[in-house]
Amino acid sequence: MTDQPIAMLDVQHAEPADAASAPGATGAPAASRPPGLEDERLTVMGLLAETFAGLAARGAAQLGGHGLSSVEFEVLLRLARSPAGLLRMTDLTAQTTLTSSGVTRVVDRLCDRGLVVRQACDTDRRTTYAVVTERGEGLLAEILPAHLDFIESWLLQPLRAGGDESLATFVQALRRVRDHVVPCATAGSAGPLAPGCL
């Protein structure tokens, strides 16, 4: 994922086909344009990319006020929402778009702030857990009211405008696509592998 939003054309706002012949136009004639430019699949992907980029930028601005990056907030939230407030480092990697070294760096930063600690597994020395601390939960308690308002205003209200069934349909479809694209997105959500790892 790049820092810049991906610019995709929504065909509903496309220029007329004869725009290339307008005075000062430098585009290729319509007849020589690459095939597929009007394909609705580009529109779907573009709308998704533009929506995510817009939400991510607004969310990052809000989280920045608490000294957290978006990815630090994501990791902290995933830990807090997991059973016993912990996840294996490998599960964090599977659940996020980060590499294992990227997860390590994020957890290092959270540990430095006392928001997370590392914990070894009692029964498997190869396994290390990231565990949210009371301080981390306290910071989430500060952030979540405004963050939930942000989600309500910028994501859910437009969906609810089409009725509650629109929101339910959206969530179901989004989960179906997520499970197809990121099949390990819920890795570790059932809790530790063994009681001894708590």
pLDDT band at 112 (very low <50, low <70, confident <90, very high): very high
Does the pLDDT value for residue 101 go beyond 90?
yes
Tens of pLDDT along 4-27?
444 444 545 444 445 555 555 566
- How do residues 136-190 score in pLDDT, each as one tens digit? 999 999 999 999 999 999 999 998 888 888 888 999 999 999 889 888 877 777 6
What pLDDT is stored for residue 44 in this prediction? Answer: 93
Q: What is the pLDDT of residue 24?
A: 59
Q: How far apart are CA 163 and CA 156, in angstroms?
A: 11
Domain range list for the chain: 67-148
Q: Rounded mean pLDDT of 96-113?
A: 94
Write the CB contacts of 122 (distance below 8 Å, at least 6 apart in sequence). Answer: 196, 197
> Token pair 């190869």 is at which residue?
126
**Per-residue model confidence (pLDDT) at position 163:** 83
CA distance 150 to 132: 23
Q: Residue 11's closest CA among 32, 35, 34, 42?
A: 42
pLDDT in tens, 29-78: 666 888 889 899 999 999 999 999 999 999 999 999 999 999 999 999 99
pLDDT score of 97:
81
Q: CA angle, corner 60, sides to 56 and 66, nearest 5?
A: 155
- Look at residues 139, 127, 136 and name the one whose alpha carbon lies nearest to residue 92: 127
List the beta bridge partners of residue 129: 88, 119
Q: Which CATH number fits domain 67-148: 3.30.450.20, 1.10.10.10, 3.30.70.980, 3.40.1410.10?
A: 1.10.10.10
The larger pLDDT score, comparing residue 112 to residue 163, is at: 112
Q: What are the residues facing 116 on neighbouring strands?
A: 132
Mean pLDDT of 111-136: 93
Q: What is the pLDDT of residue 29?
A: 64
Q: What gap in Å lies between CA 162 and CA 168, rounded to an integer?
A: 11
Round to whole Å and give the CA distance between 51 and 45. Answer: 10
Structure tokens at 150: 């942000």
Place of tokens 């590499």: 99
